[in-house]
């Protein structure tokens, strides 16, 4: 294999880095996947890691990428993972590692160019504290001076096609372009030929080889498709499910890999976690969930503060969620709900008044005042926030759930970003803006329909009478509603409901997803819990408000 350390422009790249594993042990749900494995992935080469299905190759990849915590709930690891460059001290914990995910993990709401620009604007910072001594050598790195358009042109990605409309091969190229744009020293490929036929797989293998030769990075491929990817390999490492070790294979044994894999079978015995009594398991899960809720609730005030590494991306994501929460369909949804509420409150108040013929002339002004008060302080706020919790909460949970299932949240983490940075904080801001706005639209629609309903049944009285008495309990008898009485209570309910709905939608959406059905289940759970939360807020505030 010929390895180049020069760009196509002829500019010199930094020397590649090697990855050293020392006594690496990984457990999944109490089951050991690796035991004290030590190995070196050599700098500037293509290393292919193969192993039987279920052995834990993807878990190993996530560990190498820094996506798994040492003290996780079900996945844990021990040992040391270090990056080395010739003549420099090891960097640990690892950083500056890029991942090309199996599902590409592209942001569908962004254009192709914006996907790459996002990586350019957020180079990995996880190990930058250890790299200060290399800052000067990197300032003139030609990779960092490249534009998003140049990356797309080099990788052959069309620029005028929406990400969702790209073919599988084009998405693969875009994923590689975005990863390279973050300037990683090591690139991890997670099952890059999964689901492809032999012809398409060969094209992807050739693309990886060409990219490797052009960019001069250390490349690691985790795959079960060894026939397609071994021809481009410089080194092959076997994930041995029997010995729980990583075994480097000599080139003359590569032809026997199929035979080795057929003999390897990962253990399938149930772990201690799986044998746990159902009642105890539910109790443990409840405690963990409760602790997570408390932690999330305590951190929400901090998350509201709009801090973003790059403000243009903070505004971009906030605008995305504002459009998702308070777009035209939400306007129509809340306006119709307000119209129905205004008609129901006005029509049935006068229609079913006891002894209507005798009492209505005496009570009409008080009835209008009561209708106005009920719509403004009780009915519309409750109905609007419930509908926002259900409709908007479900939309946000689906969006975040798809990002979690599709790997976009992992892509953020490989760039050194927390999922809260460009997801939770924009969602909170969007809900705090959208909830009062949508509730106001519903109330204005309720007012208009209330007026029309009243005029239809009391044509002889006129609109001025309605205007004067409808607002009498809201503005001290004045028709001027520039600052209605009780507006602080209404705003407080809106903001608290929006804040809680945002938190529930995000934390339900960002939970691990194993299938598309998990996303659907999460949406259903969000509608349930967000609705219950909103009702609880109104109940508690009503005890103080009235």
Q: Which pLDDT belongs to residue 471?
A: 87
Q: Which of the four pLDDT bands, split at 50, 70 and 90, describes residue 481?
A: very low
> Lowest mean pLDDT: which of 104-118, 215-229, 440-454, 467-481?
467-481
Tell me the two tokens of residue 9: 């422009």
Mean pLDDT for 528-540 is: 95
Mean pLDDT for 130-143 is: 44
> Lowest mean pLDDT: which of 3-7, 254-258, 361-365, 538-542?
3-7
Q: Which pLDDT belongs to residue 526?
A: 94
**What is the distance in angstroms between the CA of the first residue and the CA of the last residue of the chain?**
78
Q: Which of 273-282, 468-477, 522-531 has the highest mean pLDDT?
A: 522-531
Surface-to-core class of residue 216, CB atoms within 10 Å of its CB (0-12 exposed, 13-18 middle, 19+ buried): buried
Widest CA span in the chain: 104
**453 vs 74, higher pLDDT:** 453
How many helices and strands, by DSSP H and E, does the chain display? 19, 9
Q: What is the pLDDT of residues 78-113, one digit of tens each?
A: 999 988 876 566 665 556 789 999 999 999 999 999
Mean pLDDT for 29-40 is: 91
**466 vs 1, higher pLDDT:** 466
* 44 contacts 16 by C-beta, under 8 angstroms: yes
* Residue 476, SS3 per DSSP: coil
DSSP conformational letter for 107: -
User: Can you give the length of the chain in residues?
Assistant: 546
CA distances from 386 to 263, 338, 378, 503 (A): 57, 12, 12, 15
Q: Which pLDDT belongs to residue 331?
A: 97
* 445 contacts 335 by C-beta, under 8 angstroms: yes
Taking alpha carbons only, the member of 19, 23, 20 closest to residue 245 is: 23
Q: Which of the four pLDDT bands, split at 50, 70 and 90, describes residue 398?
A: very high
Q: What is the pLDDT of residues 446-461, one digit of tens each?
A: 999 999 999 988 888 8
Q: Which pLDDT belongs to residue 72?
A: 75
Q: Which pLDDT belongs to residue 58?
A: 87
**128 vs 332, higher pLDDT:** 332
Q: Which pLDDT belongs to residue 357?
A: 55
Position 138 pLDDT exceeds 90: no
Q: 113 — phi, psi (to 5°)?
A: -65, -40
> Lowest mean pLDDT: which of 120-134, 298-312, 322-336?
120-134
Mean pLDDT for 215-229 is: 91
Taking alpha carbons only, the member of 216, 182, 193 closest to residue 85 is: 216
Q: Which pLDDT belongs to residue 3?
A: 38
Q: Which of the four pLDDT bands, split at 50, 70 and 90, describes residue 350?
A: confident
E runs forming strands in 191-294: 218-222, 235-240, 245-249
Q: Which of 7-16, 51-60, 129-138, 476-485 has the highest mean pLDDT?
A: 51-60
Dihedral of CA atoms 167, 173, 175, 176 in degrees, nearest 10, equals: 170
* 461 contacts 352 by C-beta, under 8 angstroms: no
Q: Which of the four pLDDT bands, split at 50, 70 and 90, describes residue 310?
A: very high
| Residue 11 CB neighbours (<10 A) | 13
Q: Which pLDDT belongs to residue 403?
A: 95
* 544 contacts 488 by C-beta, under 8 angstroms: no
Provide the mean pLDDT of the chain. Answer: 84
DSSP conformational letter for 217: -
Q: Which of the four pLDDT bands, split at 50, 70 and 90, describes residue 404?
A: very high
| Residue 365 CB neighbours (<10 A) | 15
> Lowest mean pLDDT: which of 25-29, 310-314, 529-533?
25-29
DSSP conformational letter for 341: H
Pairing of strands 18-28, 75-84: antiparallel
What is the spatial distance between Cα 178 and Cα 117, in angstroms, rounded to a whole number? Answer: 8
Q: List, as one string, the DSSP characters of 22-60.
A: EEEEEEETTEEEEEEEEEEE-TTSEEEEE--TTSSHHHH
Q: Which pLDDT belongs to residue 499?
A: 94
> Lowest mean pLDDT: which of 272-281, 345-354, 438-447, 449-458?
272-281
Q: Which pLDDT belongs to residue 84?
A: 80
Q: 46 — phi, psi (to 5°)?
A: -95, 115
Q: Which pLDDT belongs to residue 139?
A: 44
> Lowest mean pLDDT: which of 124-128, 160-164, 315-319, 390-394?
124-128
What is the spatial distance between Cα 423 and Cα 320, in angstroms, rounded to a whole number? Answer: 10
Taking alpha carbons only, the member of 21, 81, 124, 8 closest to residue 417 is: 124
CA distances from 322 to 311, 319, 428 (A): 16, 5, 10
What is the spatial distance between Cα 462 and Cα 451, in angstroms, rounded to a whole number? Answer: 10
> Lowest mean pLDDT: which of 134-143, 161-170, 216-225?
134-143
Q: Which pLDDT belongs to residue 11?
A: 40
- State the angle between helix axes of 328-351 and 425-457 in degrees (0 to 180), rounded to the nearest 10: 40
Q: Which of the four pLDDT bands, split at 50, 70 and 90, describes residue 356?
A: low
Residues 6+ apart with CB under 8 A from 543: none
Q: Which pLDDT belongs to residue 402?
A: 95
Mean pLDDT for 425-445 is: 96
Mean pLDDT for 68-84 is: 86
Mean pLDDT for 367-377 is: 93
**394 vs 460, higher pLDDT:** 394
């Amino acid at each position: 294999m010929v390895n180049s350390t020069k760009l196509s422009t002829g500019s010199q790249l930094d020397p590649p880095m090697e990855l050293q594993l020392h006594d690496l042990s990984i457990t999944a749900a109490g089951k050991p996947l690796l035991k004290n494995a030590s190995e070196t992935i050599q700098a500037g080469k293509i290393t292919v890691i193969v192993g039987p299905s279920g052995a834990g190759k993807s878990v190993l990849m996530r560990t190498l990428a820094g996506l798994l915590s040492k003290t996780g709930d079900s996945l844990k690891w021990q040992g040391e993972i270090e990056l080395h460059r010739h003549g420099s001290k090891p960097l640990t914990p690892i950083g500056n590692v890029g991942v090309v995910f199996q599902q590409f993990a592209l942001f569908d709401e962004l254009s192709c160019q914006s996907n790459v620009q996002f990586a350019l604007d957020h180079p990995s910072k996880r190990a930058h504290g250890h790299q200060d001594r290399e800052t000067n050598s990197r300032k003139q790195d030609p990779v960092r001076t490249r534009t998003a358009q140049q990356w797309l042109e080099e990788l052959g990605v069309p620029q005028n096609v929406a990400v969702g409309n790209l073919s599988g091969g084009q998405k693969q190229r875009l994923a590689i372009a975005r990863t390279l744009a973050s300037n990683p020293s090591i690139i991890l490929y997670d099952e890059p030929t999964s689901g492809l036929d032999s012809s398409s797989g060969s094209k992807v293998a050739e693309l990886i080889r060409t990219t490797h030769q052009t960019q001069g990075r250390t490349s690691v491929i985790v795959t079960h498709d060894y026939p397609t990817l071994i021809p481009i390999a410089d080194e092959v490492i076997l994930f041995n499910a029997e010995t729980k070790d990583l075994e480097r294979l000599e080139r003359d044994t590569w032809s026997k890999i199929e035979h080795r894999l057929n003999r390897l079978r990962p253990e399938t015995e149930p772990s201690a976690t799986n044998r746990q009594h159902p009642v105890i398991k539910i109790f443990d899960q409840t405690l963990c969930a409760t602790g997570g809720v408390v932690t999330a609730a305590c951190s929400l005030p901090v998350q509201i503060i709009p801090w973003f590494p790059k403000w243009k991306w903070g505004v971009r994501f906030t605008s995305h969620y504002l459009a998702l929460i308070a777009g035209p369909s939400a306007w129509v949804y809340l306006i119709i709900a307000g119209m129905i509420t205004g008609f129901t409150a006005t029509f049935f108040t006068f229609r079913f008044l006891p002894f209507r013929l005798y009492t209505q002339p005496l009570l009409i002004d008080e009835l209008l005042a009561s209708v106005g008060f009920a719509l403004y302080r009780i009915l519309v706020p409750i109905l609007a926030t419930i509908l926002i919790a259900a409709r908007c909460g479900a939309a946000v949970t689906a969006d975040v759930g798809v990002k979690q299932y599709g790997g976009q949240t992992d892509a953020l983490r490989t760039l050194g970003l927390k999922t809260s940075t460009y997801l939770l904080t924009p969602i909170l801001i969007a809900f705090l803006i959208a909830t009062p706005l949508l509730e106001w639209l519903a109330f204005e629609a309720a007012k208009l329909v209330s007026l029309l309903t009243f005029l239809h049944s009391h044509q002889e009285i006129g609109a001025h009478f309605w205007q004067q008495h409808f607002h009498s309990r809201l503005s001290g008898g004045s028709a001027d509603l520039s600052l209605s009485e009780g507006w602080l209570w209404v705003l407080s309910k809106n903001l608290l409901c929006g804040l809680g709905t945002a938190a529930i939608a995000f934390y339900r959406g960002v939970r691990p997803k194993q299938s598309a059905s998990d996303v659907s289940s999460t949406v259903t759970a969000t509608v349930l819990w967000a609705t219950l939360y909103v009702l609880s807020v109104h109940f508690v505030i009503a005890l103080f408000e009235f």
